[in-house]
Amino acid sequence: MKIFAEVTEKMMSLLPETADKSVLFNDEFCAVNGEKNSILFRSDTAYELGGSGKPAVCSIVFTDLPSMRDEVILYGPDLSEITEDTPFAHITFVQLKQKNEEELTYEQLKNIGFTAFQIYPEGYHIRISPVASKEQVRVAKTALYSDSPLSFLNVGCSLIRAFKENDDVEFVRTVFITKKEFDYRALSDLAQKAKKTTDAVHSTLQLDELDCASCKMKPICDEVEGLRELHLKKEKEKI
193-238 pLDDT, tens digit each: 999 888 877 666 665 555 665 566 566 566 555 555 555 555 555 5
Give the dihedral sign, CA 206/211/213/214.
Answer: negative
What percentage of the chain exceeds 90 in pLDDT? 63
Contacts of 184 (CB under 8 A, 6+ apart): 55, 57, 87, 89, 177
Query: Could you give the angle at the alpha carbon of 25 between the alpha carbons of 20 and 30, nearest 5°?
Result: 95
Contact predicate 169/112, CB 8 Å: yes
Question: In whole angstroms, how far apart are CA 177 and each of 79, 87, 142?
Answer: 11, 8, 22
What's the pTM?
0.86
DSSP state of 96: E
Domains and CATH numbers, the chain: 2-183 (3.30.1650.10)
